[in-house]
Structure 1
């Protein structure tokens, strides 16, 4: 198991889903965590559950001052910054490209791509001076293949992957690593948001999403926040000290594509006899 004792991490979108699972796992492995989100109630609850090893900071990731403040909170509370996990996200509305508004496009890029840029920028300023640190940007299978998300969402997630590679190339000489994690079908509240659900219906949707995803990919179960958190924990650990500029896809085989039509295994067995 990857140990993270003494490390300090900032996690955006830490109030629920992949972000909450990441905060919990990093803390369980010894890290101190700055939990950030715009959902104060849920964010504070996550931090409180982690005890003295975590603090909550309200952070709107589309605002540069907020992101800079989250990074500053890490150094002020814990004296350093080892990891920046740019996870905050939104799905946005599913619309034809001809019906997608410029405002919707801009809103998606602000939360998904601009936020990852801001997190990388301000974390790198601290890490470059320290001579060490790692950034993990959370992308999506929608950023590597079509059909897995709305047009603005997929385009923004693809931009995150390219920025990850570009920043990794620049920052390597300063001892700073930058990688991405690409989740597939994960049962979280953000999926329900994409379907337009709110409140109690949103919470209930997670169970429905989990059931639906069980037959959606080669690994016959839904992805969970903990699956993605495990990959993030590896990338921020010293075990990954020689890994930078990479995209770790954690998707249950979703991007492998569909199997051949029909029960080809049974047909192949029958042909051999």
Structure 2
């Protein structure tokens, strides 16, 4: 079955860099028209410009429901319909123990990483139903399956994203909408490289039995397979991309 996206229209949030940009590039390379959505408007414009005439940039704060609603309406208006969505936008937040976490730190991560995914599906699903269905991938994490010290906000959000994914899949699979979640381990992006010392980076690599960090393109490959017709019987599941991290 095909992984060709010709004639398909997609929204990718958090697409200005890293995993989101890799997903957008791969979708466009397979023929999709892509709305490159991100809080970073300049980054979104740069990626959309790289992808060519089939791509549009859109500035959005996914933590605000009204902005997400407007984003989906814009995609439908400009493309004519919505077929695919990748809800990838996310932030890490400050590392703080649960009993010491600042409430604003908690709220900010939950607003983006959890509420942003819910708002996205809330408006994407009706748009897809208007045209007989579609496919959604929500970006979770390995921390959607295990805990991590100092990251109660992030871990809680990613666990909840997996639950949202399963629930939406149950609700809409009979109406032609598939919903899956992808769980990357630590991925080699400028954000990680710039934030860690060599010693810290080596320690992070050592947590992955495969002996390296993942690449954004590796996450994009699985994500876009799940979006494609080749994955037509796959819905309601969580798929790690983790170099055996969770096998330990």
TM-score class, shorter: over 0.9
Hey, what's the Cα distance between the residues in 1 that align with 2:10 and 2:186?
25
Hey, what's the Cα distance between the residues in 1 that align with 2:32 and 2:200?
31
User: Which residue does the alignment assign to 1:223?
Assistant: 214
Hey, what's the Cα distance between the residues in 2 that align with 1:207 and 1:81?
43
Contact 1:189/1:206, CA 8 A, preserved across alignment: no
User: Which residue does the alignment assign to 1:261?
Assistant: none
User: Which residue does the alignment assign to 2:224?
Assistant: 233
Paired residue secondary structure (2:110)? helix
Shift of 1:16: 0.6
Shift of 1:148: 6.8
The structure with the larger Rg is: 1
TM-score (norm 1): 0.85
User: Which residue does the alignment assign to 2:67?
Assistant: 66
User: Which residue does the alignment assign to 1:171?
Assistant: 172
User: Which residue does the alignment assign to 1:10?
Assistant: 11
Shift of 1:216: 2.6
Provide closer, same or farther for how the CA distance between residues 50 and 149 of structure 1 changes in structure 2, counting only shifts above 3 A: farther
Shift of 1:57: 0.6
Contact 1:19/1:87, CA 8 A, preserved across alignment: yes
Hey, what's the Cα distance between the residues in 2 that align with 1:188 and 1:208?
17
User: Which residue does the alignment assign to 1:256?
Assistant: 247
Hey, what's the Cα distance between the residues in 1 that align with 2:185 and 2:129?
32
Hey, what's the Cα distance between the residues in 2 that align with 1:60 and 1:167?
22
Contact 1:187/1:210, CA 8 A, preserved across alignment: no
Contact 2:98/2:150, CA 8 A, preserved across alignment: no
Shift of 1:182: 0.5
In angstroms, what is the RMSD of aligned CA positions?
1.9
Hey, what's the Cα distance between the residues in 2 that align with 1:84 and 1:133?
8
Structure 1: gaps spanning 5 or more residues: 193-200, 258-273
Paired residue secondary structure (2:100)? coil
User: Which residue does the alignment assign to 1:271?
Assistant: none
**Is 1:105 equivalent to 2:96 in the alignment?**
no
Hey, what's the Cα distance between the residues in 2 that align with 1:209 and 1:50?
34
In the TM superposition, 1:179-190 aligns within 5 A as 179-190=180-191
Structure 2: gaps spanning 5 or more residues: none
Hey, what's the Cα distance between the residues in 1 that align with 2:188 and 2:203?
9
Provide closer, same or farther for how the CA distance between residues 12 and 26 of structure 1 changes in structure 2, counting only shifts above 3 A: same
Provide closer, same or farther for how the CA distance between residues 181 and 35 of structure 1 changes in structure 2, counting only shifts above 3 A: same
Shift of 1:2: 2.4
User: Which residue does the alignment assign to 2:238?
Assistant: 247
Provide closer, same or farther for how the CA distance between residues 242 and 206 of structure 1 changes in structure 2, counting only shifts above 3 A: farther
Shift of 1:208: 8.3
